[in-house]
């Protein structure tokens, strides 16, 4: 590892993880990730902002040793999740005089998850400040910028926001700062969908609070940093707004082709009405791409065959995930096929209890879809178009 300076006296001391392919055993990481930690030297005190995943703790220690850091006064922990706090026990061993600076909720989680001794903490409150001499750290307590204890840290004099999970994205890169903003936008949107979207309403307020700080650099805990905070703040303002797009997302599974024929017909009907359609064959898709598509689609149509008496389990899993992510989707419908009955549409609809959607009547067909089924799908496309027109998004 090689530490890099953001500005004189402030260095990235984190770790790359080019090989990691899944996070929380749930989130695919096609581009790997980084665990960013930062060292801030003031005229009187030195602070480490966050640590790294415990699998990379020697990278962090090596960076600090190579920088000749003999004393750390404060270790600011913005978030207790192990990919940022997991190396804290080792850092505390290396720097026995260091104190952990965080909020009370985060302290409780660090004690529970990492058994950090209770006497190592200094607790801060929202808008609290900590002087490093000629530099000042200001803390913003921002619950649900992943977990309920998560906070942000602002380096006042240099206008650097250490935003932890917020505004970051999973990508292993040796680039310290974003160079390709198109790539960064897409990666950050996927990350927002997977991690932040369930907390859209809380995050909406934090975006404006951060904007008021006028940061010069946003330094998240995953992925490269940005010197163009406006780009990511504007993107978050859009994603967290109530505005939806003229798009229909269709997650589907088909066992013997009947449901696939329905999806195919509905896609054609929607496209011919000027609606963008994003189908996801759930046996092949990357769930991160499905989450990405749900950030601003107006409608979701879930297409499922019936297994025994209910929906195909792969569709159940995707529906559970979509419901947990709480997209701002406005309309939903269920289509699919069955052999001898069952409650597929009813079961799926009941699973959407966290999404504030208007549910349209389902279209479930016995066996192979016939002409009548295709006409029903055309009417569903008409209804979706009507709903989208009412929102003025067509
Ligand atoms: Fe990157 Fe919520 O941890």
**Cα(72)–Cα(48) distance, rounded to whole angstroms?**
7
Nearest to 225 by CA among 160, 288, 152: 160
Domains and CATH numbers, the chain: 4-239 (3.60.15.10), 248-387 (3.40.50.360)
**Cα(29)–Cα(136) distance, rounded to whole angstroms?**
35
Ligand 1 centroid, distance to 332 Cα (angstroms): 31
**Cα(208)–Cα(393) distance, rounded to whole angstroms?**
25
**Cα(248)–Cα(119) distance, rounded to whole angstroms?**
53
Query: Model pTM greater than 0.85?
Result: yes
Query: What are the tens digits of pLDDT across the range 374-392?
Result: 999 999 999 999 999 999 9
Report phi then psi at 92, rounded to 5: -65, -30
Q: What is the pLDDT of residue 341?
A: 84
Q: What is the pLDDT of residue 273?
A: 98
26 CB contacts (<8 Å, ≥6 apart)?
none
Half-sphere exposure of 85 (CA within 13 A, CB side): 26
Query: What are the tens digits of pLDDT across the range 296-346?
Result: 999 999 999 999 999 999 999 999 999 999 999 999 999 999 998 889 999
Query: What are the tens digits of pLDDT across the range 337-370?
Result: 999 888 999 999 999 999 999 999 999 999 999 9
Query: What are the tens digits of pLDDT across the range 192-216?
Result: 999 999 999 999 999 999 999 999 9
Nearest-atom index, ligand 1, CA of 150: 2
Q: Whose CA is nearest to atom 1 of ligand 1?
A: 165
**Cα(357)–Cα(381) distance, rounded to whole angstroms?**
17
Task: Identify the weakest region by mean pLDDT among 48-52, 71-75, 76-80, 337-341.
Answer: 337-341
Ligand 1 centroid, distance to 23 Cα (angstroms): 9
Mean pLDDT of the chain: 97
DSSP track, 118-161: GGGEEE--TT-EEE-SS-EEEEEE-TTSSSTT-EEEEETTTTEE
Query: What are the tens digits of pLDDT across the range 164-177?
Result: 999 999 999 999 99
Nearest-atom index, ligand 1, CA of 164: 1
94 CB contacts (<8 Å, ≥6 apart)?
61, 64
**Is the pLDDT score of 1 beyond 80?**
no
Question: Which residues does a 6 A CB cutoff place in the pocket of ligand 1?
Answer: 79, 81, 83-84, 146, 165, 221-222
Report phi then psi at 339, rounded to 5: -105, -40
**Cα(198)–Cα(115) distance, rounded to whole angstroms?**
29
Contact 106, 75 (CB under 8 A): no
Q: What is the pLDDT of residue 3?
A: 83
Tokens of 95: 């720097």
- Cα end-to-end span (Å), the chain: 50
Q: What is the pLDDT of residue 342?
A: 84
Q: What is the pLDDT of residue 2?
A: 78
Q: What is the mean pLDDT of residues 12-36?
A: 96
Q: Is residue 388 within a helix (H) or strand (E), and if so which, with residue range?
A: helix 371-390
**Cα(349)–Cα(345) distance, rounded to whole angstroms?**
6
């Amino acid at each position: 590892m090689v530490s890099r300076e953001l500005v004189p006296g402030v260095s990235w001391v984190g770790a790359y993880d080019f090989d990691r392919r899944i996070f929380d055993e749930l989130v695919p990481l096609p581009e790997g990730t980084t665990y960013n930690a930062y060292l801030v030297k003031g005229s009187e005190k030195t602070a480490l902002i966050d640590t790294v995943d415990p699998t990379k703790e020697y990278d962090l220690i090596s960076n600090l040793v190579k920088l000749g850091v003999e004393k750390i006064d404060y270790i600011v922990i913005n978030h207790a999740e192990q990919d940022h706090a997991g190396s804290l026990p080792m850092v505390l061993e290396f720097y026995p005089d260091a104190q952990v600076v965080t909020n009370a909720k985060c302290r409780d989680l660090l004690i529970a998850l990492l058994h950090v001794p209770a006497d190592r903490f200094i607790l801060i409150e929202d808008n609290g400040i900590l002087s490093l001499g000629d530099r000042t750290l200001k803390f913003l307590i921002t619950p649900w910028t992943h977990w309920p204890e998560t906070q942000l840290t602002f380096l006042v004099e240099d206008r650097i926001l250490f935003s932890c999970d917020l505004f970051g994205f999973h990508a292993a890169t040796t680039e310290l700062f974003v160079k390709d903003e198109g790539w960064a936008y897409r990666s950050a949107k996927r990350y927002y969908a997977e991690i932040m979207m369930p907390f859209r309403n809380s995050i909406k307020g934090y975006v404006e609070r951060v904007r008021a700080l006028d940061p010069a650099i946003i330094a998240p805990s995953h992925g490269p940093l940005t010197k163009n905070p406006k780009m990511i703040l504007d993107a978050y303002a859009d994603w967290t707004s109530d505005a939806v797009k003229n798009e229909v997302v269709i997650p589907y599974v088909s066992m013997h082709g009947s449901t696939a024929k329905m999806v195919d017909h509905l896609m054609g009907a929607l496209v011919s009405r000027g609606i963008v359609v994003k189908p996801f064959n759930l046996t092949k898709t990357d769930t991160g791409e499905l989450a990405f598509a749900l950030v601003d689609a107006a409608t979701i149509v879930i297409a499922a065959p019936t297994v025994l008496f209910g929906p195909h389990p792969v569709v159940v899993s995707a529906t559970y995930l979509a419901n947990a992510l709480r997209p701002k989707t406005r309309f939903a419908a269920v289509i699919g096929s069955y052999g001898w009955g069952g409650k597929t549409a009813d079961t799926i609809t009941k699973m959407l209890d966290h999404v504030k959607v208007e549910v349209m009547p389902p279209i479930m067909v016995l066996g192979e879809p016939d002409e009548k089924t295709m006409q029903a799908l055309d009417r569903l496309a008409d209804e979706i178009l009507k709903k989208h027109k009412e929102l003025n998004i067509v």
